[in-house]
Amino acid sequence: MQNFYYSLSVRPSSHHELFNDFLSDTLPIGFEERDGTFIIRSEDELETMAWGIEQFAEALQKALSKPIDVELIHEKLQNDDWVCKYQESITPIEIAPFYIHPTWDSSKEGMVNIAIDPALAFGTGHHPTTATCLQAVARSVKRDDYVIDVGCGSGILGIAACKLGGMIDACDTDPVSVANAQENARLNQISFNRIWEGSATLTNQQYDVVIANIVADVLVMIAPDLKKILKDNGTMILSGILDKYEAKVLKKYSDFFQIERIAQDEWVTLIIKN
């Protein structure tokens, strides 16, 4: 273990819930929220993450037409084995038919097991957006379906779809997330059909199922891109939506009809069809 680690403190001037949503779905590691500040810790440098957060703040500012400042403080600190402490706090979770567990815990017989190490990648099924999205994947993906996971993060949703028999493409604008998704696929002894750094506009394929667990404002912005890659009579899973922004998302996808709404706490996942 290294004698030091890096800490990145992120303090937005407003829209804390949207920043929490963004960090939850895109960071390759966990984070702590304290007094309006999000604290990210890693044994690796955090410049790429800081750049991604700045890009999100700029995109959010343009989308909302409001000034949004974000203070970023990057520090190098003495290590007190925080990774082990974090690992000890993570327990397996069952979201039928899936059983998500870290690699240091055993799999469960009779379940579709997914191994995800939270120290390597955020997105273990514990956050409501991931949990409800996994439920939607279980209900929507059939064997031989062609599926894309847009904004794949840890890769957990694509891995789940693959274990149900789907053929999976995945993409993320964060290169760290792409690398972590590939590593988690390897841990689960599966492989993506295709995975790339960038957006859904970089594919010419159309899919039976499009999964996008991002944030509400981004789902609104990229709606034309997601619709373009969905086959006729295809299924779209939209997640990462705070319930207070649900109507805004549904308005943008008003040409679809809703199959199911899955809610947990203040988070909503929508299953819709064209």
Three-state DSSP class for residue 134: helix
Cis bond leading into 97, ω under 30°?
A: yes
Any bridge partners for residue 152, and if so which? none
192 contacts 181 by C-beta, under 8 angstroms: yes
Report residue 92 as tokens: 């397996």
Q: What is the pLDDT of residue 87?
A: 62
Over the stretch 199-221, which tens digit does the pLDDT of each residue have? 999 999 999 999 999 888 899 99
Q: Grade residue 81 by pLDDT with cuts at 50, 70 and 90.
A: low
Q: What is the pLDDT of residue 48?
A: 86
Please state the rounded mean pLDDT for residues 85-114.
84
How many residues would you count in the chain?
A: 274
Any bridge partners for residue 260, and if so which? 271
Q: What is the pLDDT of residue 121?
A: 40
Exposure string over 150-184, b if 16+ CB within 10 A, otherwise e: bbbbbbbbbbbbbbbebbbbbbbebebbbbbbbbb
Q: What is the pLDDT of residue 122?
A: 46
Please state the rounded mean pLDDT for residues 49-53.
87
Please state the rounded mean pLDDT for residues 114-118.
80
Decide the pairing of beta strands 31-34 and 37-42.
antiparallel
Q: Where are the alpha helices (DSSP H) in the chain?
A: 16-26, 47-64, 82-88, 128-140, 156-163, 175-187, 216-221, 223-228, 246-252
Question: Would you say residue 44 has pLDDT above 70?
Answer: yes
The angle at the Cα of 92, spanning 87 to 97, to the nearest 5 degrees, equals: 150
Sign of torsion over alpha carbons 56, 58, 61, 62: negative
Q: What is the pLDDT of residue 26?
A: 74
Mean of per-residue pLDDT scores for the chain: 88
At position 78, the amino acid (one-letter code) is: Q
Q: What is the pLDDT of residue 207?
A: 98
242 contacts 267 by C-beta, under 8 angstroms: yes
Q: What is the pLDDT of residue 195?
A: 97
Give the whole-angstrom CA distance, residue 248 versus residue 246. 5
Q: Shortest CA distance to 14 belongs to which of 67, 74, 73, 55?
A: 67
Q: What is the pLDDT of residue 61?
A: 85
Sign of torsion over alpha carbons 48, 49, 50, 54: positive
127 contacts 118 by C-beta, under 8 angstroms: no
Domain annotation for the chain: domains and CATH numbers: 4-85 (3.30.70), 90-273 (3.40.50.150)
Over the stretch 228-239, which tens digit does the pLDDT of each residue have? 999 999 999 999
Q: What is the pLDDT of residue 43?
A: 78
Q: Which residues contact 58 (CB under 8 A, 6 or more apart)?
A: none
Q: Grade residue 120 by pLDDT with cuts at 50, 70 and 90.
A: very low
Q: In what order do the strands lie in the sheet with 257-264?
A: 194-197, 167-172, 146-150, 207-213, 230-242, 267-273, 257-264
Question: Would you say residue 119 has pLDDT above 70?
Answer: no
Please state the rounded mean pLDDT for residues 180-188.
92
